[in-house]
Each structure stands twice: as structure tokens, then as C-alpha cells.
Amino acid sequence: MLQPPRSGLTPLSDDAFKLSRWSTAETLVTLDDLGEAQPALATGWTQVDDRTWRFTVRSGVSFHDGTELTAEQAAASLTAATQAAPKPRILDGVDLTATADGDDVVVTTADVDPLVPQRLSSPQLAVLAASAYAPDGTVDPVGTGTGPFELVAVDGTSGATLDRFDGYWGTPARASGIDVDFVPDGTARAAALRTGTADVVEAVPVSQVSLLDPDLVHEVPMPRTNTLYLNTASGPFADPGVRAAAREAIDRATIVATVYEGRADVAEGLLGPALPWAAEGRGELDLPPAGVVPPGTRITLGTFTDRAELPEVAVLVQQQLEAAGFTVTQDVREYAFIEADALAGAFDAFILSRATVLDSGDPVAYLTSDFSCAGSFNIAQLCDPAVDAAITRAAQTPAGAERRAAVLQAEAAVLATGAAVPMLHERVVQGEQAGVSGAARDPRERALITADTTSTGQ
């Protein structure tokens, strides 16, 4: 796997997606290929009114610690997420409460939220046994999930071990277990595939693909955008004209051709070809004109090494910005050591590879977290009333064509500020040995090893 845990594998952080990709922690709801909500630990649900939903909890489900899944525990897990500090990204801007009523969990929201079922599909809202939750707010997923694999050991940031859980409520896992290695170095991950020391490898660097057997490499368009975030609160990019000058300096096609060897798509907006309705519905964007870059303008450009392409992208972006008159200093570190500074606004510009529908299968959560005044992942430090209003309208619009149109209006509002320069949309390159079958190739990066995954070595 690409990144080691950043928060001790708590599901209340992005580490939740590791638990989901290992099929050890599960949610009340899951999503199908179209992003529609489907039953998981909940067998069904009804909308009582605009702010109230009732989810029926599946019977006969055992946690890995031997306790039984109940509506009370499902509600307790959701409540723990709402009380976390910081809250999981999926709950940005959402005031949600969960209570048990017989076999049902009743979920209420302070505001109208038409995507409550999709929201509950986020791996960050996984339901764990009561033993997972400590009084100090920490959450330990070891031996406390419900999935076909039980997490039995975690070796810090080196790896993890999971065994098949024979008491699983669904179809038993075909594999006896999963041995996980965290390998931030992309060359080393590719070598593990090439030498056969790994059955499945996530995020194979584009630069390594030509060295691999083509039959072992699988490419999937992703709702993931490589974006240049510009600090709107302080420094040179507090000036909209200077932000626009940076936008005009970026040559997206060169980055795609040079760094990604054509295995990516030039960005026309924040939302890419993994969401085909975005390109179909997007009108001509009203972008502000470029201003003059004051002589001697110095900026700091940050990114991280965990995604092998990003330091290479940073080199090209630096060259392009310097050609436009900026003096650029780079700061490149592992993600675990740079995230806090990025969120605190320590950089003038930051390059980030960002999933746009990671949480609810809907882009509104991404737009809220990254670009609203109260967003928890607002690297651009953006706080714009027009953007907030557009995001709020999208959030309150029922699922369907009208909501998609509102999402594109919010996207246009963000781009009009110049706070974000979308450069390209990535395609995931996943490696699988010839003997592997049943590994998920999931654009949302929620699934990887499933109950159906097996290999000739198992």
C-alpha cells in the first residue's frame, strides 16, 4: 500500500479507507457503481421527513470481538464520529444525531440533507464494536470490525495482518488472510510486483509502468484531480490577479505528457472524466483575467513524496511559474510531515492529488471540505460568500440532474476565485499478479481486497 497510517488506523480519519480496502470495517450503507445507496449493515431505510431517516440494522451480525451488532451500537459509532475533534470530513457542515429505536437507527439532521444514505456509506462512518472506543476519544479497529477479514495486528507504520473471519455474516472470504506492507516509495512498490513478492500493489507510479509486464497492470479513470491550491489569505496569492497569473502560467498538457506519459487527462475543471456528467453539463467558465506579477515576487511551493509523480509535477510547475515571473522555493516532504503545515496555510501554493467523490460518492463533500469557509481541508484558506452559497445550494438539492447542475455551479464559483488550479485527472494504475482474481478496481478507492479476492498462492 502507498501510505502508512496517519492516525493509528482510526476510522475517524482518512485511515478509514485502509480499513475499507481491507474489508475489515463496514458501514450501514454501501454504494453501487453508479453511486446509488445499497444495503450493507442496514438492510433498508425510509425517509420519515426532510430531516429524519430510519435505518433497519441487519440481524445476525457479529463483531470480531464476539459481541453482537445492535442498533444501539450502530448509533453509538455514528455518535462517536459526530463528537470527534476534528470531525470526519464526511460530516463537514453537517449537524447529525443518531439514536436507537428497537432494531432501527434513527438519523436526524439539523438541516435538510437529501444524501444521508450516501453519507452513511463513507468508510469514516464505519460501525465498530463498543470495545473499539476509549474514553479519551481514541478508536482502535483491531478485532472490532464486522467484515470478512479481522484486523489482528498492526506494526506501526510498517504493516498490518488480517485473518479470515469465519463468523462473517455474508459470503466468507476465499483468502485465508491479508499481509499488508506500507511502502511509500513507488519504485519499491513496482519492484514488489515485478519480483512477485506482492500479489496486489496500489498506485504503481507511471514512471515504472513500462518496466512491468503489461498483463499485470490495470488502469482505471479516477475521480481524482491533481490541483494547485493557492493561498488566498496571505502572501502574493491574496491578490486575485496574481492568482490568475499563476493559473495562466500552468501548462497542463505538458505536465500530462511529461510526468504521466499520457496516462492522465488534462483538467477542464475540478471534476474529471470519471464523472462524465461534469463535462457534459459544464458551461464556459467565467475566469478572472491575469494580473501583473510584481517584480521579485517570491512564493513557497509545497507537495509530498508519497505519490511519486507529485515531486516531478512540482519541478514543472516551478519552471512554469518562474517563466511567469515568480521566484519559487520548493518544500517537499512525506505527507505525514507536511499535512499540518499545508492546512495551516504555511505555503503560498500546494500541489495535491485529491479524490473528489471519496466520501459520499457525491462531490459536495469535497467542495465543502476544500473550499467552504468552515471546511476542514481548506488548504487554499478560501472564505468566499458566493462559494459558500453555491455549495449550500448544491448540498440542499435532491439527488439527480438538478443536484448535478448545482454542483457544477459550485465548481464554477470556486474556479472564479482562482483559489484552485485543476491541472489533471489521474488514472489509478493497480498491479495484480497473474494468479490474483477478485481484487477490486475501484475508482473511489474504497475497495481493494474483498471476500472474493484470492490468488494461486492461497
Q: What is the pLDDT of residues 68-104, one digit of tens each?
A: 999 999 999 999 999 998 888 888 778 999 999 999 9
Confidence at residue 35, expressed as pLDDT on a 0 to 100 scale: 73
Q: What is the predicted pLDDT for the residue at 274?
A: 84
Q: Report residue 115's pLDDT band, with 50, 70 and 90 as the boundaries.
A: confident
What the block records as the C-alpha cell of 147 is 467484515
Determine the average pLDDT of the residues in 115-139: 95
Amino acid 299: pLDDT: 98
Contacts of 219 (CB under 8 A, 6+ apart): 263, 427, 428, 429, 430
Lowest-confidence segment of 51-55, 191-195, 218-222, 334-338 by average pLDDT? 218-222
290-325 pLDDT per residue, tens: 999 999 999 999 999 988 899 999 999 999 999 999
In 279-337, where do the E strands start and end? Answer: 298-304, 327-333
Q: Please report the pLDDT score of residue 141 as a whole number.
A: 97
CA-derived radius of gyration, the chain: 22
Query: Would you tell me the crossing angle of helices 309-323 and 240-249 to the nearest 10 degrees?
Result: 110
Residue spans of the domains in the chain: they are: 1-182, 221-427
| Predicted pLDDT of residue 360 | 74
Q: How confident is the model at residue 46 (pLDDT cuts 50, 70, 90)?
A: very high
Name, in order, each residue with C-beta under 8 angstroms of 400's C-beta and a sequence gap of 6 or more.
Answer: none
pLDDT tens digits, residue range 247-264?
A: 999 999 999 999 998 989
| Cell numbers linked to 447 | 475497495
Q: CATH assignment of 1-182, given 3.30.70.3280, 3.40.50.2300, 3.40.190.10, 3.30.1540.10?
A: 3.40.190.10
pTM (2 decimals)?
A: 0.75
pLDDT tens per residue across span 420-450: 999 999 988 999 999 999 999 988 889 999 9
Cell numbers representing residue 320 in the block = 512554469
CA dist 27 → 87, 105, 122 (Å): 17, 13, 7
- In this prediction, residue 34 carries a pLDDT of 66
- 361 pLDDT higher than 80: no
**Is the pLDDT reported for residue 219 higher than 90?**
no
CA-nearest of 301, 303, 220, 233 to 264 is: 220
Question: In the predicted model, is pLDDT for residue 358 greater than 80?
Answer: no
Q: Is the pLDDT of residue 458 over 60?
A: no
> Cα–Cα distances in Å, from 197 out to 164, 180, 190, 192, 318?
21, 12, 10, 5, 37
Residue 324's alpha-carbon distances to 239, 242, 300, in angstroms, are 16, 10, 15
Axis crossing angle, helix 401-417 with helix 385-396, rounded to the nearest 10: 170
* Tens digits of residue pLDDT in 143-161: 999 999 999 999 999 999 9
Neighbour order of strands in the sheet with 177-181? 149-155, 159-164, 177-181
HEC assignment per residue over 148-214:
CEEEEEEECCCEEEEEECCCCCCCCCCCCEEEEECCCCHHHHHHHHHCCCCCEECCCCHHHHCCCCH
The CATH code belonging to domain 221-427 is: 3.10.105.10
> Grid coordinates representing 356?
473528489
Contacts made by residues 38-44, CB under 8 angstroms, sequence distance 24+:
40/121, 41/69, 41/74, 41/127, 41/146, 42/74, 42/105, 42/120
Residue with cell 488514472: 427
Q: For residue range 24-38, what is the model confidence (pLDDT) as tens digits?
A: 999 999 988 767 789
Mean pLDDT of the chain: 94
- What the block records as the C-alpha cell of 398 is 435532491
